[in-house]
């Protein structure tokens, strides 16, 4: 893999996430060898804000990946994740539900997603 002066593919992906621009996020994600569950949820957060019309499909895919890729996810955790994903694109998202999904991500070791959701929940509480 060739690394340019702009940094690694993951560094470009991180910068793209911070812009909130879904076109840049998709382009940067395409450079990654694999989009992990953690980063996939961070993409969902960008889509919930910028492209709510395509968000639901991405959120359903993420939920499916959570259930398939993470051993031991309980029905209650799946229900919590589905509820939080459902409120994310609303005009006034439910901060406690988003914070609860962030806590679930943290427990699962999805620390980037947990951090993103915690920051979002904090902004909503203001």
What angle in degrees, to the nearest 10, is found between the helix axes of 52-69 and 37-50? 160
β-pair partners for 7: 4
DSSP class of 17: H
What is the per-residue pLDDT for 104? Answer: 93
Helix, coil or strand: residue 77:
helix
Is the whole-model pTM more than 0.75? yes
pLDDT tens digits, 2-61: 445 468 999 999 999 999 999 999 999 999 999 999 999 999 999 998 999 999 999 999
Measured CA to CA, the distance from residue 8 to residue 2 in angstroms comes to 8
């Amino acid at each position: 893999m060739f690394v340019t002066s702009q940094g690694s593919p993951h560094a470009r992906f991180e910068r793209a996430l911070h812009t909130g621009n879904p076109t840049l996020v998709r382009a940067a994600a395409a450079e990654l060898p694999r989009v992990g569950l953690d980063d996939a949820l961070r993409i969902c957060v960008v889509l919930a804000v910028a492209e709510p019309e395509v968000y639901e499909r991405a959120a359903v895919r993420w939920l499916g990946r959570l259930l398939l890729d993470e051993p031991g996810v309980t029905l209650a955790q799946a229900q919590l994740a589905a509820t939080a994903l459902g409120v994310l694109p609303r005009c006034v998202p439910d901060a406690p539900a988003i914070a609860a999904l962030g806590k679930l991500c943290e427990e699962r070791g999805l620390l980037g997603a947990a951090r993103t959701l915690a920051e979002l929940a904090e902004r909503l509480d203001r």
